[in-house]
Homo-oligomer: A and B are copies of this chain.
């Protein structure tokens, strides 16, 4: 049976690249590196409507550059295949009709090889376009690169979900040889005074439109846990009836938990020898020291209630990391899973390891206005019904996140690399 032979190379940190073309190439090659361990069959299947085939990700990100950069800006550019606009448009209404999302897995043509040829075609044209840099469209190039990085993470999320549906429990990468981790340090809370603070992106670097405008927010005194909730702590929640006590849950969360018979995080499996966890490195015994991952907002909120705490708001989270370096276990670490917290002072695991659920509904910041045209559909139209997550994860490409970065998912979704950091009122 096909098996990945070695660990996939983490997507390179693109910040170090000197030219626009080099940055472009670094991102593009990182994507292809991620799919190298996958067979054509692996890249074809779509395990649920929320997920997409890896092949589709490869093509869609390519279409993005073709559509938003090459067609409007590269004189004489010839579209690879005009039918791809229908196949690989994700959700841009302004760009016409498209393959229904739940049926992306039915597109057996073009093949993986055809898609790689498409990538090569677009890469060659991008090399011409970027030969003299990206002056005048730096922001759009950055958007395309950030977009492709988001899909790098999605490829890993979607592959894990796909493999979790197989009774064979395939591993995307070989297991790491490390023994069981040391128990994590006891959880402590760090107090913040709050007051009238500012959050949101400011400055010259690239950011998504939804990260701004920078604006004032009043914060009451609060405290944040200094590390993520662990599998061991989650087990205690479960053993205390966490999944069976409606008083801990939001009404919608409880209804969903019953409908889908939630009894543990998404990838936990109970066997004779206790709990295992399906991961990108295959099915492995549960490690109590590891941060709990693949939990929904509803579960995170129920856990926090059980723990006598709450989830942080996104403003609390962002204020807490203001001015801190963006260091943590991202994709370049090669871990492909969250690492147990190390000892020490101060907040740990704020960046990397796992996206952290906040209690903030994803909405527009004061003064937010989406960009004009199709690109304005990127973020703004999703500002209802979802919740914000912060900080990036072990599958997030290097250099991708910022303190102001707002990820967002529906409260019932679980296939992201999501974890839990507790918060408290500190008044």
Interface residues of A (CB under 8 A from B): 1-2, 39-45, 47, 55, 83, 86-87, 91, 93-94, 99, 103, 105-114, 162, 165-168, 170, 196, 215-220, 246-247, 249-254, 297-298, 301, 359-361, 363-364, 366-367, 377, 381-385, 387, 411, 425, 427
Across the interface, do A167 and B252 meet the contact criterion of CB distance under 8 Å?
no
Across the interface, do A162 and B106 meet the contact criterion of CB distance under 8 Å?
yes
Across the interface, do A384 and B252 meet the contact criterion of CB distance under 8 Å?
yes
A42 to B44, CA, bound (A): 9
Tell me which of B55, B106, B111, B377 contacts A165 (CB under 8 A). Answer: B106
A378 to chain B, nearest CB (A): 11
A41 to B40, CA, bound (A): 6
Residues of B within 8 Å of A301, CB to CB, are 384
Query: A91-B251, A167-B99, A216-B218 are known contacts. Are A41 and B384 too (CB-CB below 8 A)?
Result: no
Across the interface, do A247 and B94 meet the contact criterion of CB distance under 8 Å?
yes
A298 to B385, CA, bound (A): 11
Tell me which of B165, B297, B359, B383 contacts A103 (CB under 8 A). Answer: B165
Residues of B within 8 Å of A249, CB to CB, are 381
Tell me which of B45, B367, B385 contacts A108 (CB under 8 A). Answer: B45
Across the interface, do B168 and A83 meet the contact criterion of CB distance under 8 Å?
yes
Query: Residue on B with the closest CB to A251?
Result: B381
Tell me which of B41, B367, B385, B427 contacts A112 (CB under 8 A). Answer: B41
A145 to chain B, nearest CB (A): 23
Q: List 12 A-B contacts (CB under 8 A).
A: A1-B110, A39-B108, A40-B44, A41-B43, A44-B45, A45-B45, A47-B106, A83-B167, A94-B246, A105-B105, A108-B162, A251-B381
A427 to B218, CA, bound (A): 19
